[in-house]
Amino acid sequence: MKFNPFLEAIKTYESGKDIDLIAKEYNLKEVIKLASNENPYGTSLKAKEAIIKNAHLAHLYPDDTMIELKQALAKKFNVLNENIIIGSGSDQIIEYAVYAKLDHMKAYLQCGVSFAMYEIYAKQVGAKIYKTQSLVHDLEQLCDLYQKHKNEIKIIFLCLPNNPLGECLDKKDVFEFIGKIDKDCLVVIDGAYNEFASFKDKNKFIDPQELILNFQNVVYLGTFSKLYGLGGMRVGYGIASQKIINTFYKLRAPFNVTNLSLKAAFAALDDKEFVEKTLKNNFSQMKLYEEFARKNEISYIESYTNFITYFFDKKNSTDLSEKLLKKGIIVRNLQSYGLNAIRISIGTEYENSRFFEEFLQIFSL
């Protein structure tokens, strides 16, 4: 049987490994997962309560208008319900963007290393991919490459801050950049980790309302998977002009988010204490990773996220990841991104101390 020829080129996404499976495989009592940038403080109590309270309604299809969560997001961001689409993770909004704008005659643009899903979805439709030589976002390079191929490039992805590298552009530079882009090119601002960046430095804050008031050709992406501690529930959102949202809606399957996910996200949005604790602890623990790196002569990029990426010179990231895994510490090896580096999610104080301990032990042998 023949299939869509573009599918041949696709490698499937390599996701973080499951704790239970690792524990079984290596016969470990404790497994610490610092691989998927989940919230180390668990599920917000309010979200957990919402799930438990609604568990008996699992047989009913979700409210497909998603009005409750939409209104809460509209209020938070001071936009209209009609400016919002909710997806199974913000990944799904990336999918809508790609399927709405790209095909095998078109291309998208990103920095040298960014979130893997941009590329995976683009390959599904056979689109061409332009990446800057610079691994991190370099607006000059992005602008040059765009100008050179502007007839082809119909999406630009800006990941602010950037997963898996951690750096973040300033808002004012981003706005200036978007101003130079043709109105028919969609600029996707992936803000999956933007709350972390904004907390550390106000200059990184992208206000979705301000963004869409200024530009008709942008979509802002947010997620409940990171700061809001709901990675397992798959809820993200896109904020854009009504025209863009209406088009994305044509690609959205009904009931794309579970009813318990909608309830959990609505409750999590209200748990300000949990959010505050997560942000504060994240950056105080991040300092320990920076100190550790300096002490042990590991290069890193200053991170505006809930993870930090260590780059190696002589050490081998694959070898290191495997050795850590056997000790029950899961980190993300970035070899699949072509980097000799590991991405470590900032965990709890205990989890981080365990990482430092095992890391040192591996290299003292």
User: Which listed residue (25, 26, 30, 67) binds its own copies by CB under 8 A?
Assistant: 67
By CB under 8 A, is residue 179 in contact with its own copies?
Answer: no
Residues 71-130 that bind its own copies (CB under 8 A): 88-89, 91-92, 95, 99-101, 103, 117, 120-121, 124
User: Which listed residue (19, 143, 279, 362) binds its own copies by CB under 8 A?
Assistant: 19
Q: How far is the CB of 184 from its own copies (least distance, A)?
A: 6
Q: How far is the CB of 141 from its own copies (least distance, A)?
A: 25
By CB under 8 A, is residue 205 in contact with its own copies?
Answer: no
Residues 311-330 that bind its own copies (CB under 8 A): none
By CB under 8 A, is residue 339 in contact with its own copies?
Answer: no
- Terminal alpha carbon distance of the chain: 53
Residues 255-284 that bind its own copies (CB under 8 A): 255-261, 264
Contact 61, 259 (CB under 8 A): yes
> How many whole angstroms separate alpha carbon 174 and alpha carbon 57?
43
Nearest one of 188, 169, 187, 162 to 339, comparing CA atoms: 162
Count of residues interacting with its own copies (CB under 8 A): 79
User: Which listed residue (243, 280, 287, 294) binds its own copies by CB under 8 A?
Assistant: 243
| Pairing label, strands 299-300, 307-311 | antiparallel
Q: How far is the CB of 302 from its own copies (least distance, A)?
A: 26
Query: What tokens were used for 33?
Result: 């997962």
Residues 222-241 that bind its own copies (CB under 8 A): 225, 229-234
By CB under 8 A, is residue 213 in contact with its own copies?
Answer: no
Q: How far is the CB of 229 from its own copies (least distance, A)?
A: 4
By CB under 8 A, is residue 13 in contact with its own copies?
Answer: yes
User: Which listed residue (27, 29, 60, 313) binds its own copies by CB under 8 A?
Assistant: 60
Residue 239 forms beta bridges with which residues? Answer: 84, 220
Residue with tokens 């000799």: 340
Nearest one of 153, 147, 152, 145 to 111, comparing CA atoms: 145
Q: b or e along 96-126 (b: 16 or more beta carbons within 10 Å of the residue's beta carbon)?
A: bbbbbbbeeebbbbbbbbbbbbbbbbbbbbb
Q: Give the burial class of 87: count Cβ atoms within 10 A of its Cβ; 0-12 exposed, 13-18 middle, 19 or more buried.
A: buried
User: Which listed residue (47, 109, 245, 341) binds its own copies by CB under 8 A?
Assistant: 47
Contact 347, 341 (CB under 8 A): no
